Structure 1
Amino acid sequence: MSTGRDHQALALLLFSAFVAATLAITTWVSRNRRGSAEEFYAGGRLFSPMENGFAIAGDYMSAASFLGISGLIALFGYDGMLYSVGFLVAWLVVLLLVAELVRNCGRFTLADVVAARMSERPVRIAAGTSSVTVSVLYLVAQMVGAGSLVALLLGGSSGAARSWTVIGVGALMVVYVSLGGMRATTWIQIVKAVLLMAGAVTLTVLVLMRFHGDINLLLNTAAERSGHGKEFLSPGLRYGGGWTARLDFISLGLALVLGTAGLPHILSRFYTVPTARAARRSVVWAIGLIGGFYLMTIVLGFGAAAVVGSAEVKSANAAGNTAVPLLALDLGGGAGSTGGTVLFAVVAAVAFATILAVVAGITLASSASVAHDLYASLRRRHAKQHSEVAVARVAAAGIGAVAIGLGLLARDLNVAFLVGLAFAVAASANLPVLLYTLFWRNFTTRGAVWSVYGGLVPALVLVVLSPVVSGGPHALFPGVDFQFFPLENPGLVSIPLGFLAGWLGTVTSPEPPDEARHAETEVRSLTGAGAV
């Protein structure tokens, strides 16, 4: 029992130190800002490619990566690696198709890019609604990760503490965003990226040292202790139960690879650098950091299966979200050792830092969508810059409250799985309209609006009708059954529907495309001429 108290006290001490440091950054930034929309949404566009690359990595390497992916690999072996591969490969789409063009065409949000050549009001309302929806889904995953971590820290016995942690994380993210805006959020993400990479490297080295650098020994031991034998190292343990499971595998892969380019909090990071070239170089920095990190999550996942055992991981948290902290405890010397206590506490504190930094970035992006797209569209003639920023701060509080409520509801689901749903919605609603706007000359306002809603609505409806929500013991509502859609991830159906709706809306549009505005957008996207 004393060991548990040691874990708790040390982890809370380290976490409190991180919170104090980040609140100090936020307070300092809030005293030295100009209060303009550009300062609040984009940090004055003053960050270097390296700084922004670290911030992108900090934004992207979330609780889903550190806790969820490693947990899935510890439970399902080979099939769990799909998340690591999908999250990494997605950045090629961002680098080759999105980063530079988005930086040249927009100011603060996704809707800026689309509205550059369309009727502003309907496009901004559609894109803003979609961005907020994706952001809230992503936030829920971070809240669930925070709750899982505290449940483990307190011995899994305190549901009230778990709930209060979700509420506390939500409150902190509102403070970060409201006071510091993008500049404070960026520095918090940079600090978090450094801490997370240091923690992941330390654990990876310790895992490899435990097995004397022998990868085969690590994998074979993981297979033995998983309870599945050699099947643990082969495809099909999670996604091999029939055609439904295989289609789910394809659906998830599509969502992960295509979803990143439609995530609002990732797109908003391209506006914090001065030029398109800097945006592209930021992505190169981010790919290097993210690539190294996801390779390490594979080692940590199999390491947790080999060192801790899949059964122990599952008993601590059915979704596997606590695999990495349990691995740290064992690598440090076990439950009764000082080394185990220290390493466990450090990993728990880093995971808390990860969650806080990511929720701050997502909340900022979603509040920007509410204020800059939804509010400003409805009151564009009367709204002033300072009033728009004030609305963004209020929106941050509202979005935080919604995310807290949903996080409490979905607390037993795997965080990587929850993020997969957010990626599916982003790939269905945001990516089609973005690519059509950048590359299709004849794209119209009706096509843009239909594309967003044609991907967003089916994705949400299919999630509600999926096994995730009802019809099974692990569903959100296990006592009822309104499951009609067999797949857990809707991407396989909803992503093509988003593209199809955009095409159909364009070909049936009564108004012709605005050739002049398209030409202006094309020149701007390719050359940067006239970019803000």
Structure 2
Amino acid sequence: MEDNNPVLNISIFLAFVAVTMVIVIRASRNNRTAADYYAGGRSFTGRQNGLAIAGDYLSAASFLGICGAIAMNGYDGFLYSIGFLVAWLVALLLVAELMRNTAKFTMADVLSFRLKQKPVRMAAATTTLAVSFFYLLAQMAGAGALVSLLLGLDNALGQSLVIVVVGVVMILYVMIGGMKGTTWVQIIKAVLLVGGVAVMTVWTLAMFGFNFSALLGRAAELNENGLDVLAPGLQYGANPLDFVSLALALVLGTAGLPHVLMRFYTVPTAKEARRSVVWAIWLIGIFYLFTLVLGFGAGALVGPDTIANAPGGQNSAAPLLAFELGGPLLLGFISAVAFATILAVVAGLTITASASFAHDIYNSVIKKGTASAKQEVRVAKITTLVIGAAAILGGIGAQGQNVAFLVALAFAVAASANLPTILFSLFWSKFTTRGAVWSMMGGLISALVLIAFSPVVSGSETSMIPTADFALFPLSNPGIVSIPIGFFLGWLGSVTSRAKESRALAAEMEVRELTGYGAEPPVQH
């Protein structure tokens, strides 16, 4: 990487930030109501929202983390891609349309529709903030890894400074543009990311005469595990339960991710919500096929040893491959796209978390629904500052962690704390307030406790705290235990509850979720 040109890399990134900031400022001119700020005025088409969902979902984990995982661990690294993609079938078939028909701005709107507002909204806001924070950690860690590679920064201070810059730009996106500005940033980023990765994929295959077998053979030659890198078991063979736990978290987590769920409210109808998920599935599916080529391409053209020893470790595989293929110019472009990826995702996460606090806690709980839209949006903007600061500090602490792995933990929390309550609310008429609170808080606490006592945090050289050892739970991902706990507590809380929930509201919710009758109409400008 001696020929790396930091000035070129940063110039391309600054050009992207400048163009998108202009778009965000223009989009913000129409932000007059809470629906404009939180849901983009429900003015996006299914295709536009599908692109934005892909932009929101294809995070630093998808691009940097998975390419690195495939380059180092081959077949087992690609299992992340499969899990992330299959998850969308759960979202499409069970959640997307019903959520759009029932809710207004946030996940808690659905969960509290027929239950007691205060406890359910408080619990839902807590789980939303927890999932968003885990996800933000991954994106910030990815930002630090990427910039350390671009600028050759081996010191923690330089990486920390970059994380601060990313955090500040993200805060500006959200505070100025709201959901409308954030959505356009995500659409632009999705087009650039899929286009850039497509070019790299074709280029990589061309290096091997479009012979994928030759590419795989070369990757196996350079990997110390030889042909084992092409077979299952290299990463998860020693502990298959760990893989099952990871798979459950990935497949079930997407349908419980608050920032993905919130995207369903930016379209005018449930039909458009369903259409947007179909668009997202196609874009995301094609992208993950590309990562298979890029991951093995990095293993074949760069080599696992070079990747492992580069600043950023595994997360540097895709940028190093770009440099190998097209020199500083392609590296600069791909790195700018990866930056755009991080900015777009953290902006989506931040607006979701701030909306959850302002709408669910401030307005619905503290003000009991009496706050004006102007007051609510002001609180959301203040919350954005707080969340941004927390994300910056957390990102500095999470440097060096594989971002795909950090995101898998966020998925485990989402699948344990959010998905059981969402499915019970949508499909079980006897679900109660106690069941909702037990499910969300029990799923959240069990997932966090198991993560804290897992090998991820202590007990090995690759742990977050390598010098300590209090790993009592043997698996790296808690999903196989915490997800059933979330479902069980939802059932147990409901069957033991003496409080009678409104049958009329349950019936109304069923009619609304299945037909859309009574759902909030689109906002016209």
TM-score by length of 1: 0.96
Displacement of 1:298 = 0.8
CA distance in 2, matches of 1:382, 1:67: 44
Residue of structure 2 in register with 1:268 after alignment: 262
Task: Compute the displacement of 1:239 (Å).
Answer: 0.7
- Which amino acid is 1:453 matched to? M
Q: Which of 317, 328, 350 lines up with 1:363 in the alignment?
A: 350
Render the CA deviation track for 1:28-58: whole Å, top value 9, x for unaligned: 1223321x11010001000011110100000
* 2:57 matches 1:60: yes
Alignment pair present for 1:415 and 2:403: yes
Give 1:448's aligned residue.
Answer: 436
* Map of 1:335 onto structure 2: none
Aligned to 1:122: 119
Q: For residue 9 of structure 2, what is the aligned residue in structure 1? A: 11
Q: Give the deviation of 1:471 after TM superposition.
A: 1.7
Residue 373 (structure 1) aligned to one of 360, 376, 390: 360
Between the aligned partners of 1:235 and 1:327, the Cα distance in structure 2 is 24
Report the AA paired with residue 207 of structure 1: T
Deviation larger for 120-129 or 310-319: 310-319
Structure 1 gap ranges (5+): 333-339
**Does 1:344 pair with 2:331?**
yes
| One of 468, 480, 496 as aligned partner of 1:508 | 496
Give the Cα separation in 1 of the matches to 2:390 and 2:39: 24
Instruction: Pick the aligned partner of 1:250 from 244, 253, 258.
Output: 244
Amino acid at match of 1:495: I
Residues in 1 aligned to 2:322 and 2:391: alpha-carbon distance in whole angstroms? 29
**Deviation at 1:319?**
4.4
1:411-442 CA-partner distances (Å, limit 9, x unpaired): 11100000000000000000000000000011
**Structure 1 residues 474-483 or 388-397, which shifts more?**
474-483
The sequence identity of aligned pairs, in percent, is 58
Check if 1:437 corresponds to 2:425. Answer: yes
Is the CA contact 1:70–1:324 (under 8 Å) kept in the aligned structure 2?
A: yes
Offset at residue 201 of structure 1 (A): 0.3
Letter in 2 for 1:68: G
Instruction: Provide the C-alpha distance between the structure 1 equivalents of 2:468 and 2:156, rounded to a whole number of angstroms.
Output: 23
C-alpha distance in structure 1 between counterparts of 2:158 and 2:223, whole Å:
31
8 Å Cα contact 1:72/1:319 also seen in 2:
no
Preserved contact between residue 129 and residue 374 of structure 1 (Cα < 8 Å): no
Give the distance between the partners of 2:214 and 2:190, measured in 1 at CA: 30
Task: Report the CA distance between 1:318 and its aligned residue.
Answer: 6.5
SS in 1 for 2:315: coil
Quick one: distance in 2 between partners of 1:88 and 1:469? Answer: 27
- Contact kept, 8 Å, 2:149 with 2:312, in 1: the verdict is no
Residue equivalent to 1:21: 19
Match of 1:223 in 2: 220
Say if 1:102 and 1:525, in contact at 8 Å, map to a contact too.
Answer: yes
Counterpart secondary structure, 1:3: coil
- Displacement of 1:381 in angstroms is 4.8
- Offset, 1:2: 6.7
Which residue does 2:454 correspond to in 1? Answer: 466
Letter in 1 for 2:220: A
Pairing 1:277–2:271 present: yes
Q: Which digits, 9 at most, give the CA deviation of each residue in 1:183-205, with x for residues without a partner?
A: 00000000000000111001000
User: Is 1:180 aligned to residue 177 of structure 2?
Assistant: yes
Q: Is the 8 A contact 2:148 2:312 kept in 1?
A: no
Q: Is the 8 A contact 2:69 2:314 kept in 1?
A: yes
Instruction: Identify the residue that residue 71 of structure 2 maps to in structure 1.
Output: 74
2:160 corresponds to: 163
The separation in 2 between residues aligned to 1:382 and 1:229, in whole angstroms, is: 65
1:256 Cα offset (Å): 0.3
Give the 3-state SS of the residue equivalent to 2:358 in structure 1. Answer: helix
Report how far residue 357 of structure 1 moved: 0.6
Q: Distance in 2 between matches of 1:410 and 1:30?
A: 33
1:251-286 deviation per Cα after TM superposition (whole angstroms, max 9, x unaligned): 000000000000011000000000000000000111
Partner of 2:87: 90
* 8 Å contact from structure 2 (residues 30, 36) kept in 1: no
2:504 and 2:73 mapped to 1: Cα distance?
53
Q: Are the aligned partners of 1:156 and 1:316 in contact in 2 as well (CA < 8 Å)?
A: no
Q: What 5-or-longer segments of structure 2 have no aligned partner?
A: 521-525
Q: Choose from 460, 474, 480 the match for 2:468.
A: 480
Shift of 1:308: 0.6
Q: Residue 378 of structure 2 aligns with which residue?
A: 390
- Measured against aligned partners, the alpha-carbon deviations of 1:456-481 in whole angstroms (never above 9, x if no partner) come to 00001111111111122221112222
- AA matched with 2:411: F
> Take 1:278 and 1:386, find their aligned partners in 2: how far apart are those partners?
28
User: Helix, strand or coil: the match of 1:240?
Assistant: coil
2:368 aligned partner, one-letter code: R
Instruction: Give the superposition deviation at 1:158.
Output: 3.4
Distance 1:102 1:32 in 2: 25
CA contact (8 A) 2:31 2:178 kept: no
Q: Residue 296 in 1 paired to residue 290 in 2?
A: yes
CA distance in 2, matches of 1:155, 1:181: 34
Amino acid at match of 1:508: T
**Cα shift at 1:160:** 1.9
Structure 1 Cα separation of the partners of residues 94 and 2 of structure 2: 54
- Greater shift, 517-526 or 21-30, is seen at 21-30
Give the root-mean-square deviation of aligned CA atoms.
1.1
Aligned residue type for 1:128? A
CA distance in 2, matches of 1:32, 1:391: 19
Secondary structure at the residue paired with 1:322?
A: helix
CA contact (8 A) 2:453 2:473 kept: yes
Residue 512 (structure 2) aligns with: 524
Following TM superposition, by how much is the alpha carbon of 1:317 offset from its aligned partner in structure 2, in angstroms? 4.5
Q: Tell me, yes or no, if structure 1 residue 321 matches structure 2 residue 315.
A: yes
Q: Which of residues 233, 237, 247 is equivalent to 1:236?
A: 233
Output the TM-score relative to the length of structure 2. 0.97
Q: Distance in 2 between matches of 1:129 and 1:159?
A: 31
Kindly indicate whether the alpha-carbon contact (under 8 Å) linking 2:145 and 2:312 is maintained by their aligned counterparts in 1: no
Distance in 1 (alpha carbons) for counterparts of 2:85 and 2:292: 12
Decide whether the 8 Å contact of 1:78 with 1:233 is kept in 2: yes
- Cα distance per residue 1:292-332 (max 9 Å; x no partner): 00110111001100111111111115740000010011112
> Where in structure 1 do 4 or more consecutive aligned residues deviate above 6 Å?
none
1:3: how far off? 2.1
Q: Residue type of the partner of 1:305?
A: G
Give the superposition deviation at 1:156.
3.8
Query: Does the CA-based 8 Å contact 2:154-2:311 persist in structure 1?
Result: no
Deviates more, 1:422-431 or 1:404-413: 404-413
What is the match of residue 523 of structure 2? none
Contact 2:152 2:311 in 1 (8 A): no
C-alpha change, 1:325 and 1:381, in structure 2 (3 Å) is closer
Shift of 1:82: 0.8
